[in-house]
């Protein structure tokens, strides 16, 4: 474990963001690469060397040029594609920060982004699926608006609908794998809550997972007039959500409404642990755990819980100062900046 000590507003998160981008090829905060530059800079270079017990040392580099708006990926001095860079590095970074404590409380886009991030790190092919889905969605919405305005005939939707259905199915198959994993391991979350509650996980969607194609096709055909009137596609992965429930007194309650903030933090931390377990469940991958200023958000019990788990992985932690309880950690490298 590595502890980076620096005052607030000094750039500690930038270091973790760089490690994340080098490992996963994209920004943790969802920024495009031009937004990561200082105002008066025109490029950035992030480079590092990864050592493992299995493979020889790997030199990795990500560069970005503002003028050309081009990102390059270099592995062992050779320029390569993003998918090959990811598969060669065999490295995935998982981020935990105070921001993510709001996943349980804020809007559904936070939870969708979390799900997509897990899918992206699990399977490189999801990058293309998500990008293709976004393009098809934009095209379908454009045709819907043109039909509404009398520019295009309704028959123009036939091809877009078929392509949309195909990509939505691929998108859902990736999400379903993680949904099944959560449901199969929900006892681990209950254990973190000291088995005080019985929990369930509910993925909220208008799609029937047992009959993906027919349920998607039926909903499109049934709501075609509404989509044309609104000029927008009101269904599928970009509108889904999920929630955890507590079962009590023969009823079920949303955890964010029934449990304390401390208990909801426990659920989120357990969910991040499941994310790591899921990433390594079907492939050999090295995990880089990035903990950004979590001491300011968590109590001692949660901190101990996270640190005990973090000992299994290469971990970078940022903090304003050295917490007293870390003085006894033997495997901790302290970096003062």
pLDDT tens-digit readout, 242-265: 999 999 888 999 998 899 888 888
Whether residue 55 is predicted with pLDDT greater than 70 in this model: the reply is no
Q: Bigger pLDDT: 136 or 327?
A: 136
Give the pLDDT confidence score for residue 93 in this predicted structure: 92
Give the pLDDT confidence score for residue 52 in this predicted structure: 65
Pick from 77-81, 158-162, 304-308: least confident: 304-308
Whether residue 210 is predicted with pLDDT greater than 70 in this model: the reply is yes
The answer to whether 320 touches 8, Cβ cutoff 8 Å, is yes
| Rounded percentage of the chain residues whose pLDDT exceeds 70 | 97
The residue behind tokens 């958000």 is 297
3-state class (DSSP) for residue 205:
coil
pLDDT in tens, 156-169: 889 999 999 999 99
Q: Which of 109, 99, 104 is nearest to 241 (CA)?
A: 109
DSSP H/E element including 126: helix 125-148
Whether residue 53 is predicted with pLDDT greater than 70 in this model: the reply is no
Whether residue 198 is predicted with pLDDT greater than 80 in this model: the reply is yes
CA distance 280 to 176: 17
Task: Note the helical H segments in 205-310.
Answer: 212-222, 224-230, 255-258, 261-280, 300-310
Whether residue 221 is predicted with pLDDT greater than 80 in this model: the reply is yes
Give the pLDDT confidence score for residue 261 in this predicted structure: 84
**Residue 169 in tokens:** 């199915």
Residue range 130-139: mean pLDDT, rounded? 92
Residue range 282-311: mean pLDDT, rounded? 82
Give the pLDDT confidence score for residue 319 in this predicted structure: 85
pLDDT in tens, 168-196: 999 999 999 999 999 999 999 998 888 99
pLDDT in tens, 28-41: 877 888 888 877 88
CA distance 219 to 205: 12
Domains and CATH numbers, the chain: 105-279 (1.20.1050.90)
Residue range 56-62: mean pLDDT, rounded? 85
DSSP H/E element including 48: strand 43-50
């Amino acid at each position: 474990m590595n502890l980076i000590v620096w005052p607030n507003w000094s750039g500690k998160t930038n270091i973790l963001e760089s490690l994340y981008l080098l490992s996963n090829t994209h920004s943790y905060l969802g920024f495009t690469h031009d937004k990561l530059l200082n105002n008066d800079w025109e490029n950035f270079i992030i480079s590092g060397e990864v050592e493992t017990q299995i493979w020889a040392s790997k030199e990795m580099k990500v560069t970005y040029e503002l003028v050309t708006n081009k990102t390059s990926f270099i592995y062992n001095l050779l320029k390569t594609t993003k998918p090959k860079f990811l598969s060669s590095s065999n490295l995935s970074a998982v981020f935990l920060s105070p921001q993510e404590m709001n996943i349980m409380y804020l809007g559904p886009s936070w939870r969708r982004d979390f799900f997509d991030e897990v899918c992206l790190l699990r399977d490189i092919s999801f990058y293309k699926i998500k990008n293709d889905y976004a393009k098809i969605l934009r095209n379908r919405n454009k045709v819907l608006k043109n039909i509404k305005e009398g520019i295009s005939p309704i028959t123009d939707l036939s091809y877009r609908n078929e392509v949309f259905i195909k990509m939505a199915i691929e998108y859902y198959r990736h999400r379903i794998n993680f949904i099944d994993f959560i449901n199969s391991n929900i006892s681990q979350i209950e254990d973190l809550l000291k088995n005080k509650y019985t929990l369930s996980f509910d993925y909220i969607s208008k799609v029937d997972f047992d009959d993906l194609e027919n349920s998607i096709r039926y909903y499109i055909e049934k709501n075609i007039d509404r989509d044309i009137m609104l000029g927008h596609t009101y269904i599928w992965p970009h509108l889904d959500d999920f929630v955890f429930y507590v079962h009590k007194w023969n009823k079920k309650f949303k955890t964010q409404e029934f449990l304390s903030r401390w208990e909801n933090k426990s659920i989120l931390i357990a969910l991040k642990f499941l994310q790591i377990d899921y990433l390594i469940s079907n492939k050999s991958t090295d995990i880089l755990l990035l903990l950004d200023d979590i001491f300011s958000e968590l109590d001692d019990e949660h901190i101990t819980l996270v640190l005990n788990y973090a000992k299994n992985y290469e971990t970078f932690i940022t903090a304003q100062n050295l917490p007293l309880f870390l003085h006894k950690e033997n495997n901790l490298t302290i970096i003062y900046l």
